[in-house]
Structure 1
Amino acid sequence: MSEEQLSSQEGDGFAVASVPAARRRARGSAWIYVCIAIVAGIAAGGIASFFLADSLKALGIPDPGRVTTVGLPFVRAAAWIAMATSVGSFLASSFFISPREHDAETLNTAPLTVDGHVAKRVGALAALVTAVLAVLEVPLVLSDTTGSSFLEVLDPQLFTYAFPNISTAQVWLLTAGLAAVVGIGGLIASRWGSQPVLLVLSVLMVVPLGMEGHSASGGDHDYGTNSFLWHLIFMVLWVGGLLALLAHGRRLGPDLTMAVRRYSNLALFSVIVMVCSGLINAAIRIEWSDWFTTRYGLIIVAKSVLTLVLALFGFAHRQLTMPQLKSRPELFRRVAFVELLVMALTVGVAGTMGRTPPPPPRDPNLNSMQILLGYELSEAPSVAGLFTHFRFDILWGTLGLLLAGFYAYGVWRVRRRGLTWTWTRTAWWMAGSLGMTLFMSSELGMYIPALYSMHMLGHMVLSMVVPLLLALGAPLTLMMEAWEPGFGPHEWALAATRSRIVGFITHPAVNLVQFLFFFYILYLSFDLYEYAVSEHAGHVIMNACFLVSGYFYFWELVGPDPIPHRRPTGLRLLLLFISMPIHLYAGVYLMQLGQILGENFYLSLDLPWNPDFAYDQKMGGGIAWGFGQFPLVIVFGTLFLEWLREDRSAARRHDQKADLDGDQDLEDYNAMLARLNDEDYR
């Protein structure tokens, strides 16, 4: 093909018209990943070396040496860039780059394109780099915490003594394990269906680190930790998404316009989340007057200014580069590269906050309850308190609002397409999502960590009420109705209903076991329950397990969404009857249990009304025994009505067939009886 012919054609979402041949050559991006990581590391290490040494000395913290002082923030910042690269690459291979040779029915098994394969491989390698850096961070953290040099902590005796007592080092080792799993899985996987799973796993690498640091200690630490977790998740999506997008553009990959549009929406939402969560976190940690008078505050100011600059870059993309993406793709790449450099500086600055001593707390006289829970409970729970006490739950309350907003947007799109959507499904979903927000932000949600009975009530609501209501809302069906067919939400939702992983989890035997497993493993293991209730991370993990496990259980039983190999209604009714007594037995067991679960933690709260924990545990067992019947009645009613509809439908089909063939089945049956009767007489 001639140069003139090339210049007159337009690629799939990536125009090449009037673009010189030198600019159309595909380029690799490995040097960009390394450059961004080095910039972030130098920013973090430089601040630590020249800005924080005096602060640590003034606080009497031993100097662990230059290797740790500079190396710890450098490695930490580089690890964050590696995590972001992994997340962004799997985001691209999942939702920015369409696979080849697929349709709506075969998306899960569709092979990745060359561009998708490259993005996937980059995500896997970045995860393995994260694992290496996380392992390196472990001795650096030990060195920094103990005040010993880096070489000293490598001594096996000191290492084995310090490691079990320093949670930050343990978290980095956990992160290394997760990253290794993601990296190995990414190298093995080759089909599109595995990419969203790898994306979720890569995001989970961030979660353990979000539970550590200044945000996880002191008063209001539940607000601090939850807002920090939102902040980190959308930071890696924001940074990683742009890295993957720039690399895709440099490869001259297809569908760039679509990818940029999707990333632009994600970036806008990420900016909003990061600004809100950052302000909340900063307001909890320091006074407004400390922003410009302390070094910790100055770091927050620098990070805020850089975030504002990044928001301006996003505005420039929307106004300048996106309208010219087809005619001047190199403009987008140049602006994106400069934006990534600013992002790297932001990550580097943020990476020093974990090692920067914050100003003294607002209230230095926190009691044990405020330290352990993050807030204070002054009186026993009451019915009146349900209407007077409210403390918004930043994690689960926000999640409920987001789920409600997503569903409302989907219904709006359905109606805009001229289709209809059942109002009952909308009511079910809104009751589940908004109900979770109200419950977790009410007095009941506040008392969940403090009393076993309230914990059990929260368990029942999060595993049996909210998931049931959400499952009845049919969210995947809504996505398929709201978006047109094509590589987008419609196909993604359809792929979820055809997924082998979903099919395995929703197999009746597996689904029943996983639903009961979390209940029994938690309450039969005293040490596990003690750890789960005494740590904020334990509460988050428990609630997440309750919610996800319950959703899969009820989704398979009564969810209107199509799922792989849904079993007949009669079999699902049988499984319901099997699960009911097993669940009831757990409640009876807890009511008769002599040992108090989590007693040491509950006593350490020093609750002012001196509750009887043995009686409270019996109440919790009673809640598990009696409260679970309410959602099961709804499930039974739904399945029974579905069974009746199936029976009536079968009867109508039989009557229609009888009208067409003169009830031939009955004639054949009578003839068979007559033959048998004749044989008997012979």
Structure 2
Amino acid sequence: MDHSGHGMTMDLPPFTLARGLQWSTEPFFLTACLLALALYGWGVLRLRRRGDAWPPGRTVAYVTGVLTVLLTMCTELNDYGMVMFSVHMVQHMIISMLSPILILLGAPVTLALRALPVAGRGRRGPRELLLALLHSRYLSVVTHPVFTIPLFIASLYGLYFTPLFDFLMGSRVGHIGMMVHFLAVGVVFFWPIIGVDPGPHRPNHLMRMLELFAGMPFHAFFGIALMMASTTMVRTFENPSTSLGVDPLSDQNAAGGIAWAFSEVPSVLVLVALVFQWYRSEQRYARRSDRAAERDGDRELEAYNAYLASLHARSR
């Protein structure tokens, strides 16, 4: 299939889900996804051999996350996404709002830190480089909400409502670059909010929820803008091939509906994960307090009782 020009040289039959899910290799994403799965698998095996446990839930989340990228980029969805706005929007939503959350819940950085060998004294191996990156100024800037929230919003408005989108869709490299950008923006946006991995910003759970909700209304509004538009907004999808049998305006409205509806999906996913993480951190805190009480014979409680008794004596 020819992806040159604006993808208009492709005469695809009308879109159906069955057609969309047929295999259609995209070499860059296929290689990246297989490599990502292989490295994660290597890490888990290495821990196992050492006798260390790794939560199976993390592996499931990570593998599912990478498979959603594969499904989005290495099927006919990718071909239809070049010529239909609605299919492109499905790709964009999955790769920027679903895949990053699942990948982050897999805690790949934590796995790497535990699985990579420590380099000898004075030497810098992959583990040392990863640690240096985690503590770097660069990472603390790109994962800060002051940076991630505007970036998340600009990735929608700055891309679709300017000529940049048409320019990127004009070539295969541009299209791949755009998809990599969507995935990266999703990762840096959701990392401080939901990431299990260590990172420069670890706000409390309430702040995380606020960060999540700061970005979502803009997302919903973007969807509504596309749904309500009475003219086509993006040149790439203005003249779909007759073989597709789609009306560009109703296809654009459908794309808006997808963007609008999808802004709810990560919100629900993230909220469930956050509540669960919150509950677990509270439990850990309670267990620590119990252990401390056992060690010092509940000194805190005794001190409090003595304080009450002194108050009582004073009032008398």
TM-score range, shorter chain: 0.7 to 0.9
Letter in 2 for 1:464: M
Q: Normalising to structure 1: TM-score of the pair? A: 0.42
Are the aligned partners of 1:479 and 1:489 in contact in 2 as well (CA < 8 Å)? no
Describe the SS at the equivalent of 2:244: coil
1:378 lines up with 2:15 in the alignment = no
Task: Spell out the pairing of 1:626-637 with structure 2 (5 A cutoff).
Answer: 626-637=261-272
The unaligned stretches of length 5 or more in structure 2 are: none
Letter in 2 for 1:445: N
Partner of 2:232: 596
Partner of 1:456: 89
Are the aligned partners of 2:20 and 2:80 in contact in 1 as well (CA < 8 Å)? no
Are the aligned partners of 2:6 and 2:82 in contact in 1 as well (CA < 8 Å)? no
Are the aligned partners of 1:530 and 1:597 in contact in 2 as well (CA < 8 Å)? no
Are the aligned partners of 2:134 and 2:200 in contact in 1 as well (CA < 8 Å)? yes
1:493 lines up with 2:130 in the alignment = yes
- Give CA deviations for 1:362-416 in whole Å, capped at 9, x if unaligned: xxxxxxxx764397343111122245x3211112222111211121122222223
Describe the SS at the equivalent of 1:373: coil
Change (3 A) 1:665 1:567: farther
1:543 lines up with 2:176 in the alignment = no
Partner of 2:140: 503
Greater C-alpha Rg: 1
Partner of 1:660: 299
Residues in 2 aligned to 1:614 and 1:585: alpha-carbon distance in whole angstroms: 18
Task: Spell out the pairing of 1:162-201 with structure 2 (5 A cutoff).
Answer: none
Change (3 A) 1:646 1:412: closer
Change (3 A) 1:372 1:574: closer
Q: Post-superposition shift, 1:651? A: 4.1
Q: Post-superposition shift, 1:470? A: 1.3
Task: Spell out the pairing of 1:129-528 with structure 2 (5 A cutoff).
Answer: 220=1, 222=3, 372-373=6-7, 376-387=10-21, 389-486=22-119, 487-525=124-162, 527-528=163-164
Q: Post-superposition shift, 1:613? A: 0.9
Describe the SS at the equivalent of 1:597: coil
Residues in 2 aligned to 1:408 and 1:512: alpha-carbon distance in whole angstroms: 32
The unaligned stretches of length 5 or more in structure 1 are: 1-219, 223-369
Are the aligned partners of 1:569 and 1:643 in contact in 2 as well (CA < 8 Å)? yes
Partner of 2:251: 616
Percent identical pairs in the alignment equals: 32
Partner of 2:204: 568
Are the aligned partners of 2:104 and 2:187 in contact in 1 as well (CA < 8 Å)? yes
Residues in 2 aligned to 1:449 and 1:618: alpha-carbon distance in whole angstroms: 17
Change (3 A) 1:503 1:572: same
Are the aligned partners of 1:588 and 1:625 in contact in 2 as well (CA < 8 Å)? yes
Are the aligned partners of 1:397 and 1:438 in contact in 2 as well (CA < 8 Å)? no
Are the aligned partners of 1:480 and 1:489 in contact in 2 as well (CA < 8 Å)? no
Change (3 A) 1:467 1:375: farther
Describe the SS at the equivalent of 2:203: coil
Letter in 1 for 2:198: P
Q: Post-superposition shift, 1:575? A: 1.3
Q: Post-superposition shift, 1:647? A: 2.9
- Give CA deviations for 1:438-497 in whole Å, capped at 9, x if unaligned: 221222222111111111111101101111111111111111111222232222222222
Residues in 2 aligned to 1:397 and 1:673: alpha-carbon distance in whole angstroms: 73
Are the aligned partners of 1:532 and 1:542 in contact in 2 as well (CA < 8 Å)? yes
- The number of residues matched between the two structures is 308
Residues in 2 aligned to 1:482 and 1:419: alpha-carbon distance in whole angstroms: 10
Residues in 2 aligned to 1:221 and 1:402: alpha-carbon distance in whole angstroms: 27
Letter in 1 for 2:134: T
Describe the SS at the equivalent of 1:626: helix
Are the aligned partners of 2:140 and 2:201 in contact in 1 as well (CA < 8 Å)? yes
Partner of 1:314: none
Letter in 1 for 2:131: L
Residues in 2 aligned to 1:607 and 1:473: alpha-carbon distance in whole angstroms: 43
Residues in 1 aligned to 2:304 and 2:129: alpha-carbon distance in whole angstroms: 44
Q: Post-superposition shift, 1:603? A: 4.2
Q: Post-superposition shift, 1:619? A: 0.6
Change (3 A) 1:522 1:614: same
Change (3 A) 1:670 1:583: farther
Are the aligned partners of 1:476 and 1:561 in contact in 2 as well (CA < 8 Å)? yes
Partner of 2:194: 558
Q: Normalising to structure 2: TM-score of the pair? A: 0.87
